[in-house]
């Protein structure tokens, strides 16, 4: 049996190099080995306030980026979460299984809710919807960045709890994280992860940043106190983060990159990193522009939704039966 892969990205803001290296790039690698479902999780996006017309556009932007980085709709199923109502249905059932205490321990909820006057109940129960996304497709493997690890552990716990209480229903999914790159850090502060919601745009590379912006952001990225290009995440977190990025966009090992800058300062290293990023991202950006203007996206997403609905319906029939729901 081919294994089933599932993952999702929120259509909120500009997709960053962190999203790409931690998640999207793995999506592409996996599509040749597995039956992959990649989702645009718009229902998760509305756990925070969104402008409706902007959200609609961002869904299409993200779908175009999925294709531009190399996802092939012949190989992978690409779809929008809200097009498949089973996500909400199973999400509710799992909300009735998850404990308040478990949700309260989620660090992402604490971070996103911090300092806000009012936080939606949806932001709190968000991990139950994420578990539903994964479990609906009987997924074996979920490629994500490090910040989603806790949600994946909860998903596994919920699948086991459900199977124990109601009988075998769900495949227990495994998390898949790349060794280096599952947590790309901010360019202005290597103690924080690179994030689309950081108010400082200089803290991140966005996938659609023009070449000169990329070069400038890298030249301004913080470095560590000595002048040596060396990989040491403890002592030199800023340079180690840049080395990780360099290695991933050039497909060279970190050792190779370090060796190439032996005896050279940060100037040459950052200049070359800027160029390596431009060389890697430019073809993606060119494809993106073509795809986004092609008018093909809606049709592709409809096809993806049909396939996802059929797969999800099979799981939901069993779930309803096992829980005792329906007439």
- Residue ranges in 12-51 that form contacts with ligand TYM under rule CB under 6 A: 18-19, 21-23, 41, 44
Residue 134 sits in the site that holds ligand TYM (CB under 6 A): yes
Q: Work out which of 4, 5, 8, 76 binds ligand TYM, going by CB under 6 A.
A: 8
Q: Which entry of 60, 75, 149, 196 is annotated as an active-site residue?
A: 196
CA distance to 66, 77, 174, 195, per residue, from 32 (Å) = 15, 12, 18, 29
Edge-first strand listing for the sheet containing 174-176? 76-80, 35-40, 4-9, 141-143, 174-176
Pick the stretch among 6-14, 161-169, 215-223, 243-251 that binds ligand TYM (CB under 6 A).
Answer: 6-14
For 206, the 3-state DSSP assignment is strand
Residues that contact ligand TYM, how many (by CB under 6 A): 25
Copy the structure tokens of residue 171: 């495949």
Residue bearing tokens 């809606």: 298
- Give every CB contact of residue 138 below 8 A, 6+ residues apart in sequence: 4, 170, 171, 315
x-or-dash string of contact with ligand TYM, 177-206, rule CB under 6 A: -----xxx--------xx------------
Mode of pairing for the β-strands spanning 76-80 and 35-40: parallel
| Nearest residue to ligand TYM, by Cβ distance, number only | 22
- Nearer of residues 23 and 249 to ligand TYM, judged by Cβ: 23
Phi, psi for residue 242 in degrees, rounded to 5: -65, -35
Active site (annotated) includes residue 193: yes
CB count within 10 Å of CB 87 equals 23
By the rule CB under 6 A, 135 interacts with ligand TYM: no
The residues in 46-75 that bind ligand TYM, with binding defined as CB under 6 A, are: none
Nearer to ligand TYM, 182 or 258 (CB): 182
Q: What is the residue whose two structure tokens read 């800023």?
A: 238
The yes or no reply on residue 83 touching ligand TYM (CB under 6 A) is no
Check if 236 is active-site. no
Give the list of residues 6+ apart from residue 114 with CB closer than 8 angstroms, or none.
none
Q: How far is the CB of 6 from ligand TYM (least distance, A)?
A: 6
User: x-or-dash pattern for ligand TYM, window 148-167, by CB under 6 A?
Assistant: x-------------------
Nearest-Å Rg of the Cα atoms of the chain is 21
Report helix, strand or coil for 77. Answer: strand
Give me the least distance between CB of 268 and ligand TYM, in Å please.
Answer: 26
Query: In angstroms, what is the minimal distance from the CB of 49 to ligand TYM?
Result: 16
- What tokens does 186 get? 């901010």
Residue 200 CB burial class (10 angstroms; 0-12, 13-18, ≥19): exposed
CB of 131 to ligand TYM, least distance (A): 8
Residue from 112, 149, 216, 307 carrying the catalytic annotation? 112
DSSP 90-122: HHHHHHTTS-HHHHHT-HHHHHHHTT-S---HH
Query: Quick one: which of 30, 86, 128, 130 contacts ligand TYM (CB under 6 A)?
Result: 130
Does 241 engage in binding with ligand TYM (CB under 6 A)? Answer: no
Contact 1, 112 (CB under 8 A): no
| Residue 119: CB minimum distance to ligand TYM, A | 16
Q: Which residues bind ligand TYM (CB under 6 A)?
A: 6-10, 18-19, 21-23, 41, 44, 130, 133-134, 142, 144-145, 147-148, 182-184, 193-194
Active site residues: 112, 193, 196
């Amino acid at each position: 049996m081919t294994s089933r892969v599932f993952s999702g990205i929120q259509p909120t803001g500009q997709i960053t190099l962190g999203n790409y290296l931690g998640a999207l790039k793995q999506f592409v690698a996996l599509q040749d080995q597995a039956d992959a479902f990649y989702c645009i999780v718009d229902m998760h996006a509305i756990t925070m306030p969104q402008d409706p017309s902007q959200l609609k556009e961002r869904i299409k932007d993200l779908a175009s980026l999925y294709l531009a980085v190399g996802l092939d709709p012949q190989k992978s199923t690409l779809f929008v979460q809200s097009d498949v109502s089973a996500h909400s249905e199973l999400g509710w059932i799992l909300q009735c299984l998850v404990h308040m205490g478990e949700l309260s321990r989620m660090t992402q909820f604490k971070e996103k809710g911090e300092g806000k006057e009012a936080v939606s109940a949806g932001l709190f129960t968000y991990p139950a919807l994420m578990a539903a996304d994964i479990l609906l497709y009987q997924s074996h493997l979920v490629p994500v960045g490090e910040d989603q690890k806790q949600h994946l552990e909860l998903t596994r716990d919920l699948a086991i709890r459900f199977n124990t209480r109601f009988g075998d229903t769900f495949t227990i999914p495994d998390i898949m994280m790349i060794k280096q790159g599952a947590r790309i850090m901010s360019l202005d502060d290597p103690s924080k992860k690179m994030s689309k919601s950081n108010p400082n745009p200089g803290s991140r590379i966005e996938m659609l940043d023009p070449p000169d912006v990329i070069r400038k952001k890298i030249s301004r990225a913080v470095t560590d106190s000595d002048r040596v290009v060396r990989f040491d995440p403890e002592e030199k977190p800023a340079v180690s983060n840049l080395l990780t990025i360099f290695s991933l966009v050039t497909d060279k090992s970190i050792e190779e990159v370090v060796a190439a800058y032996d005896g050279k300062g940060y100037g040459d290293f950052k200049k070359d990193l800027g160029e390596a990023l431009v060389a890697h991202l430019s073809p993606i950006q060119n494809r993106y522009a073509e795809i986004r203007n092609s008018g093909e996206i809606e049709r592709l997403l409809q096809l993806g939704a049909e396939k996802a609905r059929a797969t999800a319906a099979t799981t939901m029939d069993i779930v309803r039966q096992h829980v005792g729901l329906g007439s």
